[in-house]
Amino acid sequence: MSSTVTQVNGKAPAEAERQHASMLPPPVWVDGDPSLRKITNDIAGPLEARPTKGWWICLAVAGAALLNLGGMVSYLFAKGIGIWGLNNSVGWAFDITNFVFWIGIGHAGTLISAILLLFRQQWRTSINRSAEAMTIFAVMCAGMFPGIHMGRPWDAFFIFPYFPNQRGPLWINFRSPLVWDVFAISTYLTISLVFWYLGMVPDLATLRDRAAGKIKKFVFKILSLGWNGSFRTWSRYEVVSLILAGLATPLVLSVHSIVSMDFATSLLPGWHTTIFPPYFVAGAIYSGFGMVLTLLIITRSTMNLQRYITLRHLDKMAKVTMLTGMIVSYAYITEFFVAWYGGNLYERYHFINRATGPYAWCFYLMVLCNVITPQMLWFRKARTSVAFLFVVSIMVNVGMWFERFVIIVVSLHRAFLPSGWGMFYPTVFDVGILIGSFGLFFTCFLLFIRFLPMIAMWEIKGVVGHGAHKLVTSRVDQEAEAVHV
């Protein structure tokens, strides 16, 4: 008998396989089979009820941190950046670390809302709204840092070219990556904001038509732009969403690439390397998914949204985290390999110093969080355990903050000449402003989940209302009945 199978049930194997594939049920992304009305009630209902105690406690903590930020930044403006631990050797430290950290967080939101839309990944529908909101708040936090890092923040508008040009005919230097960064981040913030708002318009109309109070009705009437569910508008709206997704996809890749060029175009060992753009983009998505996991694990349980943000969603996000984590690990290895293989004395010293110098503990913490931790996600049990994923997501955030700290501070503190070496020690203002930026981020996020629909109702309705979902749920019901009989 031949060992190769030529026929299965009288059909060629490829044909049989295709038939089998077409019989596999498409995944179901919403548990149970909620009616359209139930979806509206589940998501819009909590916005109309009184906020829970847990929400007030979170808001109090975040608000306190935000107040702290306001106070410390005011003091910074009054005194100057000498209150930070910066010195002549280390001129960029917590400020730029925080900037890169927050910009990176934003990237997961755009990946989920734009790139996964182009790939027609339906699991994005439950999480895209909150991930986009996270993007906007994170970019706001990020944008703050270069601003307050300037010696004279009241002259911050100098970074933009403007008419009439009051600096004589002297213009900004368009060859500088720092100027590219200004354009990249303001474009990113604007497009993300527009994408987020446009995606919310149909849901704002739903809230308008439900609103009982006069003020609420008035506000939602203004925000919902007179949306009335017209299909001619829906048809155009879907095309525009696709276009915006198509524009946002290269945009998000460009943003962190340009951030990485702030470093890569310099000559400093540890910064001057060509792998930075893809390495930074992968790291950004990795850290962003860490933050999305942290936020969604908290909100799905506090707002009772387990039906919409299921374990299968967490599993998918964990897989993306693992993949990007491994790309980041690969970049770490490449950096060390090139330092050895490239034969540049300064580069080699930098990497030896990274692993054995005074900041080695930061390096090993980063390896623990970014290289070893994501490896746990190979196990299905780990990907579907909410508590474990929460711990992993926190470690991802910690690890990625330290990655930026290692890249920035460790490279700067021992550059070429030993006479220019120095150490950076954070002051209370460095740490306080970092904590304050978390306060800003979480205050915004808490207000968002309180006043706006954190799950895109119309997209969930589209997923539930269309054939595939119905087919599967009815099949599951039939199977369940068959078992009972």
CB of 169 to other proteins, least distance (A): 4
Nearest residue (CB) to other proteins, 210 versus 450? 210
Nearest approach in angstroms of CB 178 to other proteins is 11
Q: Are 291 and 137 in contact (CB under 8 A)?
A: no
Helix or strand (DSSP H, E) at 40: helix 36-48
**Single-letter residue type at 474:** S
Q: Please report, for residues 290, 298, 443, the alpha-carbon distance to residue 55 in angstroms, rounded to integers and kept in the order given.
A: 22, 11, 11
Report the residue number, 66 or 184, with the smaller CB distance to other proteins. Answer: 184
Q: Provide, rounded to whole angstroms, the least separation between the CB of residue 277 and other proteins.
A: 11
* Alpha-carbon distances of 112 from 60, 115, 132, 140, 241, rounded to whole Å: 30, 6, 8, 19, 13
CB of 317 to other proteins, least distance (A): 24
Q: Do 406 and 359 contact (CB within 8 A), yes or no?
A: yes
* Residue 261 or 318 with smaller CB distance to other proteins: 261
In the complex, the smallest distance separating the C-beta of residue 64 from other proteins, rounded to whole angstroms, is 35
Closer of 244 and 295 to other proteins (Cβ): 244
For other proteins, give the closer residue by CB, 88 or 235. Answer: 235
The residues that touch other proteins, with contacts defined as CB under 8 A, are 35-37, 40, 161, 168-171, 173-177, 179-180, 183-184, 186-187, 190-191, 194, 198, 201-202, 205-206, 208-210, 221-240, 243-244, 247-248, 250-251, 254, 258, 457-459, 461-462, 465-466
Q: Supply the minimum distance, in Å, between the C-beta of residue 387 and other proteins.
A: 35
CA distances from 296 to 46, 130, 251, 289 (A): 16, 8, 25, 10
What size, in residues, is the chain?
Answer: 485
What span, in angstroms and rounded, lies between the C-alpha atoms of 163 and 182?
17
User: Cα–chain-centroid distance for residue 16?
Assistant: 41
Shortest distance, position 101 Cβ to other proteins, whole Å: 22
Nearest CB to other proteins, comparing residues 239 and 431: 239
If the CB atoms of residues 7 and 230 are measured against other proteins, the closer one turns out to be 230
| Residue 38 Cβ vs other proteins, minimum distance, rounded to whole Å | 9
Q: Cβ contacts of residue 204 below 8 Å, gap of 6+?
A: 220, 223, 224, 227, 452
Angstrom CA distances, 225 to 54, 232, 393, stand at 33, 16, 38
| Residue placing its CB nearer to other proteins in the complex, 81 or 178 | 178
- Contact partners, residue 179, CB within 8 Å, separation at least 6: 159, 172, 173
Question: Read out DSSP for 165-182?
Answer: -SSTT----TT-HHHHHH
413, 90 Cβ separation under 8 angstroms: yes
